[in-house]
């Protein structure tokens, strides 16, 4: 017994405190005289019981010591493996990914107009460059986009053709919120696949605040966008008072499925002249509705359509071909209803060769305030053939015929043959 205790205590000595070691040693020593005096058996029993208790205590302490010595498992830091993608630079230090991209495009065109013999020109002004970042935040994914093109002030054709860069997009997206400048929510979602935008093009790019809600097979969005009143005065001049007070309000609902997609958009706007014309203040409220989309045919083909109508369309359609209304010499605003639409069929001859045929029409009901030189209507016909010789590269040829008519009845025709070469990088 004593040997056992002695061995046990020596084995544990490195784990026990000094006090506990002393107690164990004392008990071991006490056991010797007890064995030497067998007559006091009761005392011996008590001592044995105490010994057992002490052994139990030693075992408990041993267990505790062992637990304390367990080294906690350190979780290895999981670093996201750098991912490879087109134009991707992974800024790992800030949890941000930077993507670079753009497009090089050369357009060549030859114009025919009634009064001219013809005109040939080349340009690369549709060339673009963009930067995108994406960062994970506590509030969701934060992405930012900046895009420029070369359609700013034109350079001269004599020497260097140094066209100036122009801002296209500058926006930040955090979850469902988009803030900054990008395409208007009112824009058509299914413009024809043509090199030249059709005459009814519902297209504006401007600063806005947008909320988008996604559902299965559909989405809803609402935005407050940059206001700008554009009116025609009695001399035919465009007037932009610049005294707007409320943002343009746009909402859109879009559905999509195997059949294609469809979208309805509504817009409400305030038009205001605060003393700019005739020193008086006047305001008017207008709006517009738009329906656009496409139906899919034969796996690859599609039929695209778009129609917009309202007394607040103005600058939102056809590159501000019409103003939203007129302003008379007394400074009073009169909104003018306008309508525009297109239909286009895109056929893929094979996976790299396609043709689009498109027709578009726009017109407005001018009043007596505007002069006879004010735009009244326009029509547009086009056909093209576009080939994708390499991934992200295109070569295309297109012909269009366009007719425009002014309030006084005078109409002008023009035709253009275009050639496009582009590469998206």
Q: Spell out, one character per residue from 334 to 373, where the chain touches another protein: x when CB under 8 A holds, - when not.
A: -----------x-x---x---x-x-x-x-x----------
> How far apart are CB 114 and another protein at their closest, in Å?
15
392 near another protein, judged by CB under 8 A: yes
Whether the CB-CB separation of 185 and 208 falls below 8 Å is answered with yes
Helices 2-12/18-36 angle, 10° precision: 170
> How far apart are CB 227 and another protein at their closest, in Å?
21
> How far apart are CB 278 and another protein at their closest, in Å?
32
Q: Looking at 127, 194, 263, 375, which residue binds another protein (CB under 8 A)?
A: 194
176 near another protein, judged by CB under 8 A: no
For another protein, the closer CB: 285 or 297: 297
For another protein, the closer CB: 273 or 366: 366
Classify burial at 68, counting beta carbons within 10 Å of its beta carbon; exposed 0-12, middle 13-18, buried 19 or more: exposed
CA distances from 176 to 140, 223, 264, 315 (A): 9, 12, 20, 27
- Secondary structure letter of residue 53 according to DSSP: H
> How far apart are CB 353 and another protein at their closest, in Å?
12
> How far apart are CB 215 and another protein at their closest, in Å?
13
15 near another protein, judged by CB under 8 A: no
In sequence order, what are the residues at sequence separation of 6 or more whose Cβ sits closer than 8 angstroms to the Cβ of residue 216? Answer: none
193 near another protein, judged by CB under 8 A: yes
Whether the CB-CB separation of 359 and 343 falls below 8 Å is answered with yes
Pick out residues in 99-118 that bind another protein (CB under 8 A).
Answer: 99
CA distances from 293 to 18, 187, 188, 243, 257 (A): 86, 11, 8, 35, 11
374 near another protein, judged by CB under 8 A: no
262 near another protein, judged by CB under 8 A: no
53: closest CA among 24, 86, 15, 11?
A: 24
The CA angle 98-172-102, to the nearest 5 degrees, is 50
> How far apart are CB 327 and another protein at their closest, in Å?
25
State how far the Cα of 179 lies from the Cα of 162, in Å rounded to an integer.
31
In sequence order, what are the residues at sequence separation of 6 or more whose Cβ sits closer than 8 angstroms to the Cβ of residue 162? Answer: 155, 156
For another protein, the closer CB: 241 or 340: 340
211 near another protein, judged by CB under 8 A: no
Buried b or exposed e, range 120-137, using 16+ CB within 10 angstroms: eeebebbbbbbbbbbeee
The site for another protein (CB under 8 A) is made up of 83-88, 97, 99, 130, 132, 134, 136, 141, 143, 145, 147, 168-169, 171, 173, 178, 182-183, 187-188, 191-195, 197, 201, 203, 205, 256, 297-301, 345, 347, 351, 355, 357, 359, 361, 363, 376-377, 379, 381, 383, 386, 388, 391-392, 394, 401, 403, 405, 424
């Amino acid at each position: 017994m004593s040997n056992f205790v002695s061995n046990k205590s020596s084995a544990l000595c490195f784990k026990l405190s000094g006090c506990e070691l002393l107690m164990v040693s004392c008990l071991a020593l006490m056991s010797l005289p007890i064995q030497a005096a067998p007559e006091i058996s009761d005392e011996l029993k008590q001592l044995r019981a105490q010994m057992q208790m002490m052994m139990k205590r030693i075992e408990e302490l041993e267990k505790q010591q062992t637990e304390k010595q367990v080294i906690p498992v350190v979780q290895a830091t999981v670093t996201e493996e750098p991912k490879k993608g087109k134009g991707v630079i992974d800024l790992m230090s800030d949890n941000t990914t930077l993507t670079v991209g753009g497009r090089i495009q050369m357009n060549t065109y030859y114009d025919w107009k009634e009064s001219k013999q013809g005109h040939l020109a080349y340009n690369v002004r549709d060339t673009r460059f963009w930067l995108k970042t994406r960062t994970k935040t506590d509030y969701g994914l934060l992405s930012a986009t900046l895009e420029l093109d070369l359609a700013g002030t034109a350079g001269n054709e004599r020497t260097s053709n140094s066209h100036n860069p122009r801002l296209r997009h500058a926006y930040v997206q955090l979850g469902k919120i988009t803030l900054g400048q990008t395409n208007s929510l009112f824009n058509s979602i299914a413009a024809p696949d043509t090199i030249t935008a059709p005459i009814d093009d519902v297209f504006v790019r401007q600063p806005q605040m947008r909320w988008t809600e996604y559902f299965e097979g559909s989405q809803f969005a609402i935005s407050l966008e940059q206001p700008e009143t554009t009116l025609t005065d009695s001399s035919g001049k465009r007037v932009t008072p610049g005294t707007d007070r409320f943002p343009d309000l746009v909402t859109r609902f879009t559905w999509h499925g195997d059949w294609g997609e469809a979208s309805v958009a509504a817009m409400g706007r305030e038009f205001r002249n605060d003393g700019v014309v005739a020193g008086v203040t006047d305001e008017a409220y207008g709006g517009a509705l738009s329906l656009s989309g496409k139906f899919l045919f034969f796996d690859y083909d599609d039929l695209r359509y778009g129609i917009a109508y309202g007394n607040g369309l103005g600058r939102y359609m056809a590159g501000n071909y019409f103003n939203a209304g007129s302003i008379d010499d007394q400074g009073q605003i009169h909104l003018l209803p306008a309508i525009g639409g297109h239909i286009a069929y895109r056929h893929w001859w094979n996976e790299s060769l396609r043709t689009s045929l498109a027709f578009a029409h726009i017109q407005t009901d001018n009043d007596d305030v505007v002069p006879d030189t004010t735009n009244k209507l326009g029509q547009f016909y086009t056909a093209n053939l576009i080939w994708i010789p390499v991934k992200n590269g295109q070569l295309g040829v297109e012909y269009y015929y366009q007719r425009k008519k002014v309030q006084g009845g005078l109409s002008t025709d023009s035709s253009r043959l275009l050639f496009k070469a582009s590469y998206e990088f």
